[in-house]
Chain A
Amino acid sequence: MKQFRKMVYPYLVWSTIMIAVPMLLILLYAFTTQGNTVTKFLFTFKNFKRFLTDTTFLNVLYTSLRIAVETTVICIILGYPTAYVIAKFSEKAKLRWVLVITLPTWINMLVRTYAWTGILQDDGVINSFLSIFKIGPIPLIYTDFAVILGMVYNFLPFMIIQIYTSLTKMDYSLKEAANDLGAGPAKTFLKITLPLSMPGVISGITLVFLPAVSSFCIPRMLGGGSYVMVGTIIESQFLTAGDWNFGSAISLIMAIIIMISMYITKKVDKGEKVEGASV
């Protein structure tokens, strides 16, 4: 079988150039200053210092994290009951509903986000409806609300499917046992169903929080030109301002924050599991 081993070599070369080198370039640029040529490296923390000491940038970081957390929480609140209801259907109905929930995710994200721009306008459907009751127009587009709505709209199916998968994998005899032992529906849910579906919630959080915190097209389209998030700063550093060093440093900071939050989420999950076991 050794002759097949060689089949990996082309991809080893390819992935070194196309995946590893770009990551190293981000590191290289993040720790150097503008105007550095490749031949002379000047190690510096200036880019990080600039981001972490400027309150405007810190505010942007705060906004991004806040929007991403709010989006994730709303996705759990809406996604959990949806997954729960679907998981209780018959096998055939389940598959049909999973298709219904996932179908929109296959359609271009930009196209789906663009659809909201018409709905949320001052003279759009929602405000026209409200004007019947002599309310408004309420400013909807280019607000926090619009950005969070756009993110929930785009990422909710991921949350639903993750929770749904963990709910269907669950051993139903455990629930029956709890019922037999006298636990009410509420207690059974809190002590059995919820802890057992936690892995789904955790992977759902990963799939929602990660794209939410780094998104730049949703804030640009629904938040307007002056709405700033970490993603939009990185974009402008690279495509308009041209300060690649600073942009690299910001994306490194963002990557580290994402890694830390993923680590915390996993830790919290494990902690809860231990607790559940002791009960």
Chain B
Amino acid sequence: MSKKKRIGSKIFLGIIVLFLYAPIIYTMVFSFNEGKSLTKFSGFSFKWYEKMFSNDTMMEALFYTIIVAILATIISTLVGTVTAIGLSKSRKAIKNVVEQVNQLPIMNPEIVTAIGLLMLFSFIHFEKGFFTMLLAHIMFCIPYVILSVMPKLRTLNPNLAEAAMDLGATPWQALTKVIVPECMPGIISGALIAFTMSFDDFVISYFVTGNGVSNISILVYTESRRINPSINALSTIIVVIITVSLLLVNIIPSLASKKKSKVEAIKEENIK
């Protein structure tokens, strides 16, 4: 490739990255703005952070977001893993039915899932609030957990659990000592997807909560109509948390594998 072309493509990539990151950086910069303006930077201050931490509705929304995300992740990972293991042993007809039904929340536009749940909760006279939000989050997280555990089960040797039981393991032991550890990578990635899906959800939460219960997304949506720089502070904190945890998730395995390969290299050398 010619040098000119290479510089051209680097510039293009630079513009795309700028486009993706500029608004996020803009928000972060203006979270330290002294004034209330979202357009003129008048001086550095932590004022909006103080305002954010003393704002009860914001802290409550943050609390609900985290609690729902944690509970939805735990429950959906558990149920999803159990279902996936059951599915791998089930007859084809049941497998097909469950897989088809699971496609619905993944393929449907979020707003369709949202109104469906809204009608369900009103149909059974379940009052909108914290529990409806939690149930809804569990509902849309499970299919993703199943989807990420299933491939691991497919590659798992079916004789392994059988062998464990022949050797005297109870079904429970075969499950917890053989099958679950073998699918751990799939379970973990399923849990990660579930957590971020729940943490970021707006559309479904917006339709199924009420009675003063809200999450960060709903808060940002309702507050975006008036100028409130505390939202910038809240955004900055979310961006920092997500970025740090994503970098950790991406860096730790590569560090670990480096360490592992180092250990293996040392071992090999010792054998020699």
Contacts and interface: CB of A to CB of B under 8 A. Distances in A.
B27 interface: yes
Contacts of A234: 111, 115
Interface string A48-72: 0000000000000000000000000
Interface of A: 1-12, 14-23, 25-26, 29, 38, 78, 81-82, 85-86, 88, 97, 99-101, 103-104, 106-112, 114-119, 121, 123-125, 128, 153, 156-157, 160, 210-211, 213-214, 216-217, 220-221, 231, 234-235, 238-239, 244, 247-248, 251, 254-255, 258
Contacts of A4: 85-86, 88-89, 171, 175
13 contacts: A4-B86, A5-B90, A7-B83, A19-B105, A111-B220, A118-B26, A118-B30, A119-B23, A121-B38, A153-B20, A221-B221, A231-B111, A238-B118
Contacts of B10: 85
Interface centre among A88, A118, A213 (most CB of B within 10 A): A118
Contact of B101 (A19, A110, A220, A231): A19
B91 to A, nearest CB: 8
Contact of B243 (A88, A103, A221): A103
A68 to B, nearest CB: 11
Interface stretch (B11-19, B51-59, B263-271): B11-19
B114 to A, nearest CB: 8
Given A108-B238, A109-B202, A19 B139 contact: yes
A249 B113 CA distance: 14
A126 to B, nearest CB: 10
A118 B221 contact: no
A104 B13 contact: no
A245 B263 CA distance: 65
A124 B39 contact: yes
Interface of B: 1, 9-10, 12-13, 16-17, 19-24, 26-27, 30, 38-40, 79, 82-83, 85-91, 94, 97-98, 101-102, 104-105, 108-113, 115-120, 123, 135, 139, 142, 158, 161-162, 171, 175, 196, 199-200, 202-203, 207, 216-217, 220-221, 224, 231, 234-235, 238-239, 242-243, 246, 250
Contact of A86 (B13, B199, B250): B13
A106 B242 contact: yes
Given A115-B235, A118-B30, A255-B112, 18 more contacts: A9-B86, A14-B79, A18-B135, A26-B119, A103-B243, A108-B202, A110-B216, A111-B27, A111-B216, A111-B238, A112-B24, A114-B224, A118-B26, A118-B39, A231-B109, A231-B111, A244-B119, A251-B111
B17 to A, nearest CB: 6
A138 B12 CA distance: 26
A12 B1 CA distance: 56
A97 B88 CA distance: 36
A78 B86 CA distance: 44
B101 A217 contact: no
A12 B27 contact: no
